[in-house]
Amino acid sequence: MDLVNRVAQSDITTVDLASLWPGGEVATFDLAPFLHRGLVLRERDFRQAMKDHDWEQYAGQHVAVTCSADAIVPTWAFMLVAARLQPVASGVGAGTPEAVRRDHFVRAIEAHDWTQYAGKPVVVKGCGNDIVPLDAFLLATQKLQAVAKKLMYGEPCSSVPVWRAPAPAPEAQPAGASGAVKPARPAGLAKPAGLPKPAGMKPAGPPRA
């Protein structure tokens, strides 16, 4: 799924997290109506009810499986519902619709190829993203920090700076590298001696008047 929208005459790349959502509301499957007197799950009755239930109504939807009754429901009952939903639903999760939507975004963000934003300034679209949970923005921030040059929030024309990659540290120079380096004398080469003075000669004095 392509998240990128190139802004005309701009090097900023826009990431729209809402495009990771396939659309539609999250349906809820409540186990409470299938409990005996709303309190007890009878296996034979429950299995028959699941067999007779119209599962096609959830075709193409994400479904949150929950139980609104204050009852102890065995885990296998939730598993049985998920098994019935799997062939028709786009996704199945336990809990509230918000929890199911969050789980979907987390999986989608983990599977997304973030290397395409390497070295680029990126703005994460924030307007009209009511469908995107806060967790998705936080996870996307971490993914982009690993590759992007700069991270912003909002729209390319009106964005809030969030993060910028630190500038690379300058390479350290060895001591004395700033001045001229005196060439080293080859090994074994002695320092040249001064010219010898002739024997018996004295230094010349000042001229006589």
| The two structure tokens encoding residue 174 | 């060895």
Residue 50, pLDDT score: 98
Residue 128, pLDDT score: 72
At position 94, the amino acid (one-letter code) is A
Nearest to 132, CA basis, from 110, 102, 174: 102
Helix (H, G, I), strand (E, B) or coil at 17: helix
At position 117, the amino acid (one-letter code) is Y
Against a cut of 0.85, is the pTM above it?
no
Cα 142 to Cα 39: distance, rounded to the nearest angstrom: 44
Residue 83, pLDDT score: 98
How do the domains of the chain map onto residue ranges? 4-22+103-164, 30-89
Residue 200, pLDDT score: 58
> pLDDT tens digit string along 68-79?
999 999 999 999
At position 181, the amino acid (one-letter code) is V
The residues of the chain scoring below 50 in pLDDT are: 7, 9
Residue 9, pLDDT score: 44
